[in-house]
Structure 1
Amino acid sequence: MEQETNRVEAFSDGVFAIVITILVLEIKVPEEHGSDLWHGLWAQWPHYAAYVVSFLVVGVMWVNHHTIFGHLRRVDRPLLFLNLLVLMVVSVIPWTTSVLAEHLKDDEAAKVAAILYSAWTVVYALAFSAFWWYVTRVGHLFHEHVDKDGARATRMRFGLGAIAYPITVVLSFISAPLALVAHFFIAIYYAANQIPIPLVVEDERLESASDLRK
């Protein structure tokens, strides 16, 4: 079962790597030549901005995904499907990023594109939250040294994305660049470890010393 866990994580890592690679492939080479190339490079600033934010979003997703699997002893069939759901949602991010980048300078179209981008992050937040809630629901997939109650206690803090990302949908109706900035700061929030999985101390000598002090 530990080998199966490694296989699932390796497959997931491959998907994350492909998604991040596709993000940069969406930035096209400017058609301008000579000194006009400076203008062509600057004209693509929406693509750069969208790329940086989405790279950070996907990168943080991968870090948290890796953190979770580092504490799993085995996987089961429901978890495999929940993991596939997470990967399916992540795989769409390059497309929503491209749509947003292409229309970020068009005020009305930018709002529609930002709504699409933000709404899809809501879907992702729900998918990843479902993944984490299933892992912590019983705790039967964790390594023996994991504090299962402590892991469950992180649910609400990690699940704040289900509240924060809908707010970005509202912001998208006001300003697409503002919504993109909000996504950047949400990714920064999740870059800090919001699922610190505590470990159970099983050192009998420490317990004996504690008993003696009592």
Structure 2
Amino acid sequence: MTKSRLEAFSDGVLAIIITIMVLELKVPEGYTFANLKPLYPKIISYIVSFIYVGLYWNNHHHLFQIVRKVNGKVLWGNLHLLFWLSLMPVTTNWIGESHFERDPIIAYGVVLIMCSISYNIVEYFVIQIEGEESALKRAVKSKTKENISTALYFLGIGISFINPYISLMMYGTVAIMWLIPDRRIETLMKDQ
């Protein structure tokens, strides 16, 4: 099976996710910058979520640059990833509406963890069909960044019971860690 339909479908879903998120931002009442102040929580949560969706799109794109073929497991794994990403607009809006309350921050963290896990499942299924000597397996043999990310998500959820703002900073830290596309795949692509 070729990968082009999976990539096109994923790109479309991610574009819709971003569109839904931006549509949740409403025009402020009034005509001064001061009228934006009540919208700051929604704007901040939108920016962070936009970055996260962009990170997944970017890394998904890099991943499928070195993938040669897909099968049903990869397709279902990818749908699993898209399911969790599709919940980003809901949790993003909840965070903004609540002005950073604990439960929305916890829900956001759960979605982030599940996006991370499902992305790793896609990688696992690709390695299964392409083999242990595949380009992807060579590229992702070290999972240090992934493990740190998952630990920070779990820690962020735990800390949100004490201080949701620290949790948001932890989620933001993970996003910053991933701003540069996966260098392991970039390096491998240059060597080929």
**TM-score of the pair, normalised by structure 1:** 0.79
Give the Å deviation of 1:61.
0.7
Gaps of 5+ in 2: none
Query: 2:179 matched to 1:181?
Result: no
- Worse-superposed segment, 53-62 or 174-183: 174-183
Counterparts of 2:120 and 2:71, CA distance in 1: 17
Which of the numbers 51, 67, 76 marks the counterpart of 1:72?
A: 67
Aligned partner of 2:12 in structure 1 is 14
Query: 2:58 matched to 1:26?
Result: no
Counterparts of 1:153 and 1:58, CA distance in 2: 24
Query: 2:162 matched to 1:160?
Result: no
Counterparts of 2:122 and 2:183, CA distance in 1: 13
SS in structure 1 opposite 2:178?
Answer: helix
Counterparts of 1:196 and 1:187, CA distance in 2: 17
**Aligned residue pairs, count:** 190
Counterparts of 2:180 and 2:14, CA distance in 1: 19
Per-residue CA deviations over 1:152-189 (Å, capped at 9, x if unaligned) read: 41344334332221111012112222222221220111
Query: 2:36 matched to 1:48?
Result: no
Counterparts of 2:93 and 2:190, CA distance in 1: 45
Counterparts of 2:124 and 2:111, CA distance in 1: 20
1:45 to 1:53, Cα distance in 2 relative to 1, 3 A: same
Gaps of 5+ in 1: 203-214
Aligned partner of 1:126 in structure 2 is 117
The amino acid of 2:151's aligned partner reads: I
Moved over 6 A (4+): none
SS in structure 2 opposite 1:96?
Answer: helix
Aligned partner of 2:53 in structure 1 is 58
The amino acid of 1:124's aligned partner reads: C
- The answer (yes or no) to whether the contact 2:112–2:153 under 8 Å persists in 1 is yes
- The answer (yes or no) to whether the contact 2:70–2:129 under 8 Å persists in 1 is no
SS in structure 2 opposite 1:196?
Answer: helix
Per-residue CA deviations over 1:139-164 (Å, capped at 9, x if unaligned) read: 34x9x9x5455224134433433222
Counterparts of 1:200 and 1:54, CA distance in 2: 30
- Worse-superposed segment, 15-24 or 81-90: 15-24
Counterparts of 1:139 and 1:80, CA distance in 2: 14
CA RMSD of aligned residues (A): 2.4
The amino acid of 1:71's aligned partner reads: I
- Computing the radius of gyration from Cα coordinates, the structure with the larger value is 1
- Which protein has greater RCO, CA pairs closer than 8 Å, 6+ apart? 2
Percent identical among aligned pairs is: 31
Give the Å deviation of 1:22.
1.3
Counterparts of 1:103 and 1:43, CA distance in 2: 11
SS in structure 2 opposite 1:193?
Answer: coil
